[in-house]
Amino acid sequence: MSFTIRKIQKEDAQSIIEIDAMQSGEEKPAYWNERFKYFFESSNALGYVAIENEKIVAYVLAEARALEFGSQLCGWVFAIAVNPNFARQGIALALCRQVCLKFKELKINTIRTLVRKDEVSVLSFFRASGFKAGPFIELELELLD
């Protein structure tokens, strides 16, 4: 398999929405259109797509930001997905490496992401990519009626 990676462009939005729908089982154009508005207006955002035979088969979206609770400026991977027909061929890993290289160029040495604890395959992917538990623990409170 031979794929190329390039920077994301506005014209890639529909392909990203479609790949996300394949992964999540739900098409979310309103959500994605809001994310894209922010993404394409922000100087801190970066993203790449993987292309095979002139078709987008995967994407990664990330940003540089400092959050509350004393978090220093770091990179955040907030979305990465591969068309299931192209899974397990190293595409996601290549996209993740591309993001890491770009953050390193920007002198950002820490990259974070959030993963559901029951998403074993996603956890495995990030661990295989070198990610490990960070200094924060998410806590939540469910407000019942």
Pairing of strands 111-112, 45-52: unpaired
44 pLDDT more than 90: no
**For residue 50, how many other CB atoms are within 10 A of its CB?**
24
Q: Residue range 118-145: average pLDDT?
A: 86
Q: Which two tokens stand for residue 114?
A: 């959030």
What region does 72 belong to: left with phi over 0, alpha with psi -120 to 50, or beta? Answer: beta
Give residue-wise pLDDT tens across range 45-102.
999 999 999 999 999 999 998 776 667 889 999 999 999 999 999 999 999 999 999 9
CA atoms within 13 A on the CB side of 141: 2
pLDDT band at 1 (very low <50, low <70, confident <90, very high): low
Give residue-wise pLDDT tens across range 11-24.
999 999 999 999 98
What share of the chain has pLDDT > 70, as a percent? 97
Element (H, E) at 50: strand 45-52
**For residue 130, how many other CB atoms are within 10 A of its CB?**
10
Q: Which two tokens stand for residue 145?
A: 């009626």
pLDDT at 3: 94
pLDDT band at 104 (very low <50, low <70, confident <90, very high): very high
pLDDT at 82: 95
CATH fourth-level superfamily of 4-128 = Gcn5-related N-acetyltransferase (GNAT) (3.40.630.30)
